[in-house]
Every structure is written in C-alpha cells, then in structure tokens.
Amino acid sequence: MKSVLAVIIAIVLMTIILPMLLIFSCDIAQPSIEIKEPQVSNEVFIRVYRKNSQRVEEIALEEYVKGVVASEMPASFEYDALKAQAIAARTKAIFQKIKYGDAGKPAHPGAEVCDGVHCQVYKSKEQLKTLHSEAWMRDFWPKIENVVEETKGLVLTYEGKVIDPLYHSTSGGRTENSEDVFTSMAPYLRSVDSPYEQESKHLEDQVVISTNEFITKVNNSYKKSGLTANNIKDSLEILQRSEGGKITKMKVGDEVLTGRNIRELLGLKSANFKITISGDSMTFTTRGNGHGVGMSQYGANGMARNGYNFEDILKHYYRGVDLEEYR
Ligand SMILES: [Zn+2]
C-alpha cells in the first residue's frame, strides 16, 4: 500500500509540480520587454524667418537664444548683463510665439520672429564664425553658451503671463513709459532711472546739418509745415517731453510733430534731443540710443559692474515681474 502511495506521489510530482516549477523558474529567467512608445520631446522650437534665404527655419529655443545674445549685446559685457539679455531674448521669442500662434507674425507669416531688428537680431553659430575672429569664438562663444545654459528656460512674466520685454541700447539716464513711445500701455514698462550708462558711446551724440537741409526734409514729409529760411528760428518750439526726456510734442512751423518723427527724418539716435541754431547750421544733441523702453543694455552692464545680479537688473527695468520656467 505504501509503495502505491509513493508511486502516486511520484506521478503527481513529475506531472504537475515539476512542470509548474519549471514554468515559474522560466518566468524569472526571461527578461521582460517593454513595448515601444512614441518619443515625446518637450523641447521648444522657434520658427525664425531668415531674411537672406527668405525661408523659415525651426531652431531649438536655447540655440536660438545663444544666437540672439551674441548679436544683440557685446559679448565683452558682464556675465549678469548677458544673463539678463538671454532671459529678455527668450521671453521675446516666447511672447511672440504665444501671441501669434500657428499663423506667425503677420510681417513674416509662419514665423514668430525674423532674424533682423524688426524682432531681434539672430545669427547662427556659422554666421558668427564668419563675422568674428577665431579669438572671439574661443573667448566669447563659450561665455554666451554658459549664460544661456545657466538661465535655461527662464522667462519673465507679469501676473502669470509672459511679457513683451522691450530693450534698447542706452536710455540717456531714464527709460520711457511704453505709451509715451508706442501706443500701448504696459504696466511693467514704466519709466525708471538708468544711472549706470557712462560706458555707452551714445550717452550723448551730436548731428549737425544745414538749416536748408532740415527745411527741405521737413517740407518733403510734412507739406503743411510752411518752414522757410526766414521763419525757421521762430517756428520751432519744444512743447512737451515725456518722463524719460523724449520729445512728445514739438511745433515745427504749422505742424505739431513728435521727437520720433524728427528722429526718423534725420536718423537721430534718440527722440530725446536739444536743438541749437547757429548761423546756417543746426545742431541736434541727442541723449541715449534707441526707443528707451524697457531694459537699457548699457544700463544693465553698468548695474552688473556695480554688483547687481541678472534678477536685480531685470526687476529694475521691468516692474513687478517674476522669473518663471517656461514649459
Ligand atoms: Zn520680425
């Protein structure tokens, strides 16, 4: 009887338990294979209209920012000024990407930015190599890469929305309220002091032209001015200046023009100027370089030299903003 029981146990072991153990051990031994998923990249791309080739290029955001920093600010500037510029450049591209969506900016459909001053200047690394010396590439390109990488993804927001971070070369001592230069009022683009611009070559500039040239240019563009060589001295008057010093209203004969009108007419560096007439010549003494709204680049560099970091600089020139990571 015992031997029959032993045979039964042996049969059970061989037919049921052993195969089960084998299957179990095989399960452990087999490596598991995960089915492939589609690759999702969260890298942001910027569509850039290249003026020379008249094509739209898709460029990874951080690469694009490097090409803007290298083109928009001297690479010899302080580290924190370059970091502030990197964040402003990134914010500008994202602001336009959000604002214009798939259609792109109307001036260059299908692209949120172009590579010129119309948006912000961008040059590829290859272009920079042909523009600059080998020493520049060796000394400054890694510096630009570093400032962009160290600020990776950071953008400026106001009440949670990405801002339009206007910037310019030199304010001339005080920046402008956005509505005094452009049509719209932005709460973060307020007139603020810009006390550290001494190194700018354009803190003060002079343009001298003959009174006849001035009269011809004004009359060609503003037919009703009625300016003549005889009445010019009594026909010019500055009626109003903005908080930042730009001329917002100026009597020019029978016309009322802005400093910006005169700036565009004569190619002046800024709309903040004084005029002196001496004999047959007129001297326009300008302060600053550019529209004067938002961050002053020379002011940013001066602040960095005086110990301010990129966050101090950005929060000085853009009021009430926060730094956030764009995803
Ligand atoms: Zn553009």
pLDDT, tens digit (0-9, with 9 covering 90-100), for 115-154: 999 999 999 999 999 999 999 999 999 999 999 999 999 9
Q: What's the 113 CA to ligand 1 centre distance in angstroms?
A: 5
> 10 Å Cβ neighbour count for 112?
25
In the block, residue with structure tokens 């490097």: 66
Q: What is the pLDDT of residue 24?
A: 53
If you measure from the C-alpha of residue 51 to the centroid of ligand 1, how many angstroms do you get, rounded to a whole number? 9
Q: With a cut of 90, say whether residue 23 has pLDDT above it.
A: no
In which band, very low, low, confident or very high, does the pLDDT at 30 lie, cut at 50, 70 and 90?
Answer: confident
Q: What's the pTM? A: 0.83
CA 15, 17, 20, 24 dihedral sign is negative
d(CA 119, ligand 1 centre) in Å = 4
Task: Calculate how far, in angstroms, residue 122's C-alpha sits from the geometric centre of ligand 1.
Answer: 11
From the CA of 73, how far away is ligand 1's center (Å)?
18
The Å distance, Cα 163 to ligand 1 centre, comes to 17
Whether pLDDT at 18 is above 60: no
Cα(189) to centroid of ligand 1, in Å? 21
Ligand 1 centroid from CA 123, angstroms: 14
pLDDT of 42: 79
Task: Dump pLDDT digits (tens) for 143-187.
Answer: 999 999 999 999 999 999 999 999 999 999 999 999 999 889 999
What is the pLDDT, as a whole number, of residue 3?
65
Is 269 exposed, middle or buried (CB count within 10 Å of its CB: 0-12, 13-18, 19+)? buried
| Rounded distance between C-alpha atoms, residue 207 and residue 324, angstroms | 43
Q: Tell me the C-alpha distance between 86 and 99, whole Å.
A: 20
- In tens, the pLDDT along 34-53 reads 888 877 777 899 999 999 99
**CA 226 – ligand 1 centroid, Å:** 37
pLDDT of residue 26 exceeding 60, the answer is no
How many angstroms does the Cα of residue 107 sit away from the middle of ligand 1? 7
pLDDT at residue 39 in the model: 75
What is the length of the chain?
A: 327
Cα 229 to Cα 94: distance, rounded to the nearest angstrom: 51
Rounded to the nearest angstrom, the distance between the alpha carbon of 120 and the centre of ligand 1 is 7
Q: How many angstroms is it from 44 CA to the middle of ligand 1?
A: 19
* Phi-psi region at 40: left, alpha or beta (left = phi > 0; alpha = psi -120 to 50): beta
Ligand 1: centre distance to CA 41 (Å): 27
The alpha carbon of residue 248 and the mean position of all alpha carbons in its chain are separated, in whole angstroms, by 26
